[in-house]
Amino acid sequence: MILGAVVVYTGIAVAGSIYWQLHLRNLAKIRGLLVGAVYQKLTTVATAQHENAAVTLMSTDVERVTQGLRVFHEAWANVVEVGIAVWLLQRELQTGSIAPVAIAIACFLVTLCVNKFTMPRQNRWMEALQARINRTVSVLSQIKSIKMIGLGEQSEKVLDALRVKELQFANGFRMIMVLSFCIAFAPIFIVPVVCFAIYLSASPNGSGDNTFDVAKAFTSLSLVVILTQPLSSLFQYVPMFAGAANCLQRIIDFIHSPPHRDRREGKSDVTRERGGRRDNASGAEKSTAVVDIVGRNTTTGDVLSIYDGAFGWSENQWDLHNVNISIPKSQLTVITGPVASGKSTLCKAFLGEVPYVKGIVEISSGAGIGFCDQTPYLTNTTIYENIIGGSVVDNAWYKTVVRAVDLETDFERLSSGDRTYVGNNGDALSTGQKQRVAIARAVYARTPLIILDDVFSGMDNVTKAYIYERLLSPGGLLRHLEMTAILACSDQDMCLAADLVVDLAPGEPPVSSHPGRREQPKYHPMDERKEDNISDTADSPATTYTERDQSTATPAPQKQASKTPSDWATYGYFARAVGSPNTALLIFLGGVFGTLYTFPSVWLNWWTTDPTARDSFYLGIYALLQATGLICWFLFTRHCLTTVVSRSGKKLHNSLLSTVMSASFSYLSTKDSGTIINRFSQDLQSVDGELPAALLNTVATTFIALAQVALVATASPWLAISYPLLVLVFYGIQRFYLRTSQQLRPLDLELKSPLYTHFLDTLRGITTVRAFGWSQHYVERNQQLLDASQRPNYLLQMIQQWLSLVLNMVVVVIVTLLVTLSLKLRSSLGLTAVALVNLMSLSQMLRSVVIGWTLMETSITAVARIKEFEQTTPRENDSNSDGVIIREPDSGRIEYKNLTVSYGLSNENLALKNVNLVIEAGQKVGICGRSGSGKSSLVASLFRLLDVRRGKIVIDTNDIKDYSLSNLRSSINAIPQDPFVTGGTFREVLDPYGASPDHAIEEALRKIKLIEHVQDHGGLGGSVKPESLSQGQKQLLSLARAILRRCRIVVLDEVTSSLDLETEQLIWGVLQEEFRGCTIIAVAHRLETIVGFDRVAVMDEGNIIEFDDPRVLLEDANSAFSKMRRTGKAH
């Protein structure tokens, strides 16, 4: 018997370890396959379908699929185990064995009925989760604008409401899980009672006397344990399978979603006649989602042509129609027109990115298109890596391109030169710098065709003139390379060197014209740059995509994986999030359940050893104990999975959110967005899923194991002597295990952050990626990041299996000792039976306790990361957050006193240096200067977005440090350069605080001439779709929002840079009327817009080099302002 016990338990340990090692390896492959498939599909989805759903699919959904598949083989093995147990039980209890089968069938049917609600409730939860993640991504991507316009608190409330909604839907799903767990445990509590009742009722005298003894009772009970434990597991697996199937279906639906329709590959009928094309065009009108893009015979001289085209972003709503355009090869085409005339839509149509199309588009460029979007697409890598992109490294050509886009001066100012990291969305650079980096990437790729969508809007006239001359003029670099260039802009001056001009007007067909070649002005920069010979690279061979040589690239700074030990302080932090009453109730219910789970076997021992026992009495008490245990299990699981999760989930999300919203802008601009999103997705997923499950198992199994250990000791007191030694062994194993697991778990979470960042970057710039033809390059990069994230995850799984094997071997020792001592010392038969029955589950319980504890230790890492993030994230210095609330400025006088500011606490790369500036109340002051000169920094410092090294800013008579941040930012009316327009209704976008009546909102829309657009899209209650709005329309909505606020100070940060002349005049007219008497600070690159201001400040390298009346400055031919104005006019 002793040898048999050793062989059986050793076999279980070894076979189980081999099985799990193979199974977990397959699960890792499945995870890699699913994440890779989601990303592969992401690169091919239609532009109109772009959303952050892919981030949720690759994280939450994939994790739930692998969790469901983790127990796949366990499920069918449990069925086999149940069948064998039923057969053995029938031999022992005869007709009593019918009960387990009937109860199992009943529980299975109830489980199926309950799980009908699983998929719809999980879908609602996943949709709410996805909505929260989408909104969080949107807020983080526009955090600067949010802080400037004072919508931080409002955005925090919106995200908090989305989290509450998510938790409510999650609780609906978790209640299904609670019911499933109770049904799963029902056989454990019900089957013994029913079996014994049937057996006793079938005995000869109906009382069971002399037939229901210790051997019969505990043999039957052991078989019931063998039967009910796999049944319990099997019923728990059903909702896991349902959830996994639902998540897998979501992934499949995404993969099967309509792909991006792009047929730019050549067809066999490229030489067909124009009449044939027109026939096809009329046929294409039957399907508005189809566009023919065929190879074109390059001998015609046209690189791209559109015949009878119509393009739109919504079905049956055409932004452009009757489009007939031919773009000449190796020449410059300029697309111009007012706001919302369709310039960006036409550029996207050239790329095949518009979802609804009629007509024919022909293109001869099959080697990718160099594309610069209206909003520059940059990833949080170095400037160098952004320019190289997916092209091969050619340092000589790189230097030529950098010189052509005037980045050399910027590199000299930056301490790390072109190895400077650009930050999230390029926030570490000025708008002009971001645009020049994007232009450099397009030029560096040397594609036959380059499309530039409003790329000069953020540049000063000098820089604009320089780049225009070096790239687009007849003697420019693109002409030397015989590249075809398409430029979309609202600036009519850009048409000077154009070979073809396409004029767009809202609702009208495009009009093409060939302006006569005018004499090109000479380039006249402020600093006498030497003319560079650009023809030496004109004959360089075109670069085609190959895998980039990484040898010369500066690697990203490697952050050492943070070891976040799950100390007691972390558990205290989590307990405070849950709340002391809830924590105490959880422990109490766990203790009661553990007692009721084990005590019935003691009652059974008393029953079978009592010679005068009345079976009906003992059976009734036995049934009462079992029923109470089941009820306690329901209360325990419900409290843990709903109350505890909801309280901790809301509290920890609030901690994360408040930390992010109060974090310094310098931190947010340099921190990878994927790292922060990982906190809101992966870490909160652990808090909502892994941690509660580990907590539930740990608390329950700990109390059960304690009770079972006590019962085993009663059968063999000598075995109890070994308990202290076993405790030391378990503690030592746990410490040895945690030494590694506590490092692997943070590494697992941290290496997923680059994967999140890569997904988010791809979502944001998928049009650019596809235009360049870099999709495969990005897929390969995703595979590298995925492999890196898989390693710690797989290693963590493997060391968990090592732990399981070691614990199983310890159980072998315990079983051997118990059996040996029981046989040698002749212990009480009843107590020995109690011990053996409990030992059957004790081995599993001891494993569950240690594994549950270690899983909780690794799961609590997410809480430790949130705690660390909250404690270490640099905050904005809100020195007066709890002090006296200073009222809004009375006059609006602003004074900068010897102000020096920087990004971050470092004194390197100071943004402003010893700035002294006085803006009197009611003055209109223009701020101008070259890109990167400090204009936006001057404005940002007014909102305390930058770190002040020296000096101060005074509004009226108050230092801005005396204001709380919320009061300061709400007292200044800001229209930022990047307009903040997110999802929601038009009413919510225009009046986020709900302070204005509808008629006031409509009046503001009339003033900016957007009332018809809003009415056509559902009125104020209609949904805003930011992707369908032009940059100019977003800017106009921001102006309408500003009109609804009344402040003495108005700050305009390049609000007209992307607007045509007519719309620009409209905006300035509205500003003059609505903000009469207000202090206005306007950052401008178009100097004509600020010529009529009271004062102009000219900036250079963080200093104010001129400050005077613009008319006075213009009269001085040697003034910097005058030179900038002449350069702009000459251009």
Tell me, what's the pLDDT at 450? 93
Residue predicted with more confidence, 823 or 139: 139
Q: What is the pLDDT of residues 577-635, one digit of tens each?
A: 999 999 999 999 999 998 898 888 888 878 877 777 788 888 899 899 999 999 999 99
Q: Is 890 a domain residue?
A: yes
Helix axes 62-70, 214-255, angle to 10 degrees: 150
Residue predicted with more confidence, 222 or 875: 875
Tell me, what's the pLDDT at 834? 53
Q: Are residues 945 and 1036 in the same domain?
A: no
CA 207 vs CA 202, 220, 920: distances in Å? 9, 18, 103
Tell me, what's the pLDDT at 186? 87
1075 in Cβ contact with 1101 (< 8 Å): no
629 in Cβ contact with 593 (< 8 Å): yes
Residue predicted with more confidence, 539 or 876: 876
Q: Is 456 helix (H, G, I), strand (E, B) or coil?
A: coil
Q: What is the mean pLDDT of the chain?
A: 80
Residue predicted with more confidence, 277 or 139: 139
State which residues form the domain around 802.
2-258+567-659+667-688+701-872
Domain boundary among 853, 872, 891: 872
The residues near 439 (Cβ < 8 Å, ≥ 6 apart) are 372, 405, 452, 455, 467, 471
Residue predicted with more confidence, 647 or 812: 647
Q: Are residues 781 and 830 in the same domain?
A: yes
- With cut-offs at 50, 70 and 90, classify the pLDDT of residue 887: low
The residues near 678 (Cβ < 8 Å, ≥ 6 apart) are 749, 750, 752, 753, 756
Residue 726 belongs to domain with CATH number: 1.20.1560.10
Q: Are residues 191 and 117 in the same domain?
A: yes
- With cut-offs at 50, 70 and 90, classify the pLDDT of residue 523: very low
CA 486 vs CA 268, 313, 495, 543, 971: distances in Å? 27, 21, 11, 20, 43
Element spanning 463, H or E = helix 461-467
Residue 773: both structure tokens together: 């033809």
Domain boundary among 1022, 1046, 1070: 1046
Q: Positive or negative CA dihedral for 832, 834, 837, 843?
A: negative
- With cut-offs at 50, 70 and 90, classify the pLDDT of residue 884: low
Tell me, what's the pLDDT at 835? 56
Instruction: Give the mean model confidence (pLDDT) for residues 511-517.
Output: 74
Tell me, what's the pLDDT at 659? 92
Give per-residue burial for 223-241: e unless 16+ CB within 10 Å, then b: bbbbbbbbbbbbbbbbbbb
Tell me, what's the pLDDT at 457? 80
Choose the weakest-confidence range: 263-267, 728-732, 1122-1126. 263-267
Q: Are residues 124 and 254 in the same domain?
A: yes
Instruction: Give the mean model confidence (pLDDT) for residues 31-37.
Output: 94
Q: Is 488 a domain residue?
A: no
Q: Are residues 933 and 955 in the same domain?
A: yes
Gap between the Cα atoms of 153 and 149, Å rounded? 11
Q: Is 547 a domain residue?
A: no
Gap between the Cα atoms of 419 and 441, Å rounded? 15
Full strand arrangement of the beta sheet holding 484-489 = 369-372, 449-453, 484-489, 332-336, 500-505, 508-513
Instruction: Give the mean model confidence (pLDDT) for residues 475-495.
Output: 85
pLDDT at residue 165 above 90? Answer: yes
Gap between the Cα atoms of 1128 and 602, Å rounded? 94
- With cut-offs at 50, 70 and 90, classify the pLDDT of residue 138: confident
Tell me, what's the pLDDT at 92? 66
Q: What is the pLDDT of residues 345-377, one digit of tens each?
A: 899 888 888 888 888 888 875 668 999 998 889
User: DSSP state, 359?
Assistant: E
Tell me, what's the pLDDT at 579? 92
Tell me, what's the pLDDT at 452? 93
Residue predicted with more confidence, 43 or 423: 43
For the chain, the domain total comes to: 3
Give, in degrees to the nearest 5, the angle at Cα 359 between 357 and 364.
100
Q: What is the pLDDT of residues 832-843, one digit of tens each?
A: 555 555 555 666
Q: Which of 412, 405, 687 is nearest to 573 (CA)?
A: 687
Tell me, what's the pLDDT at 285? 36
Gap between the Cα atoms of 311 and 359, Å rounded? 9
Q: Is 13 a domain residue?
A: yes
User: DSSP state, 392?
Assistant: P
Residue predicted with more confidence, 555 or 1034: 1034
Which residue type, as a one-letter code, is found at position 451? I
Q: Is 343 a domain residue?
A: no
Q: Is 493 a domain residue?
A: no
Q: Are residues 200 and 225 in the same domain?
A: yes
CA 431 vs CA 356, 460, 674, 902, 1050: distances in Å? 31, 11, 22, 17, 21
Domain boundary among 998, 1016, 1046: 1046
Q: What are the start-end ranges of the H helices in 274-407?
A: 274-284, 343-351, 383-388, 395-404
Residue predicted with more confidence, 87 or 925: 925
pLDDT at residue 973 above 70? Answer: yes
Gap between the Cα atoms of 612 and 630, Å rounded? 29
Tell me, what's the pLDDT at 49? 55
Q: Which of 48, 666, 754, 777 is nearest to 354 (CA)?
A: 48
Give, in degrees to the nearest 5, the angle at Cα 202 between 200 and 206.
65
Total Cβ atoms within 10 A of residue 1043: 23
Q: Are residues 619 and 720 in the same domain?
A: yes
Question: Phi-psi bin for 265: left (phi > 0), alpha (psi -120 to 50), beta?
Answer: beta
Q: Which of 504, 849, 537, 884 is nearest to 709 (CA)?
A: 849
Give, in degrees to the nearest 5, the angle at Cα 1024 between 1021 and 1028.
145
Q: Which of 1101, 931, 1012 is nearest to 437 (CA)?
A: 931
Q: Are residues 24 and 154 in the same domain?
A: yes
Q: Is 356 a domain residue?
A: no
% of the chain at pLDDT higher than 70: 83
Tell me, what's the pLDDT at 1085? 77
Total Cβ atoms within 10 A of residue 882: 8
Tell me, what's the pLDDT at 281? 36
Tell me, what's the pLDDT at 819? 66
357 in Cβ contact with 290 (< 8 Å): yes
Element spanning 485, H or E = strand 484-489
Length of the chain: 1131
Q: Are residues 1033 and 1060 in the same domain?
A: no
pLDDT at residue 649 above 90? Answer: yes
Tell me, what's the pLDDT at 544? 33
Number of helical (H) and strand (E) elements in the chain, helices listed first: 39, 20
Q: What is the pLDDT of residues 540-571, one digit of tens each?
A: 333 333 333 333 333 344 444 445 445 788 89
Tell me, what's the pLDDT at 925? 93
Q: Are residues 17 and 142 in the same domain?
A: yes
Instruction: Give the mean model confidence (pLDDT) for residues 152-165.
Output: 91
Gap between the Cα atoms of 418 and 412, Å rounded? 9
Tell me, what's the pLDDT at 954? 92
Q: Are residues 857 and 880 in the same domain?
A: no
- With cut-offs at 50, 70 and 90, classify the pLDDT of residue 214: low
- With cut-offs at 50, 70 and 90, classify the pLDDT of residue 279: very low
% of the chain at pLDDT higher than 90: 20
Tell me, what's the pLDDT at 842? 64
Tell me, what's the pLDDT at 1097? 93
Q: What is the pLDDT of residues 169-197, one digit of tens each?
A: 999 989 988 998 898 888 888 888 887 78
Q: Which of 59, 310, 99, 54 is nearest to 202 (CA)?
A: 99
pLDDT at residue 443 above 90? Answer: yes
Q: Is 387 a domain residue?
A: no
Residue 991 belongs to domain with CATH number: 3.40.50.300
Q: Which of 814, 815, 796 is nearest to 726 (CA)?
A: 814
Gap between the Cα atoms of 646 and 171, Å rounded? 8
Q: Which of 1077, 1074, 1053, 1058 is nearest to 1006 (CA)?
A: 1074
Q: Are residues 882 and 934 in the same domain?
A: yes
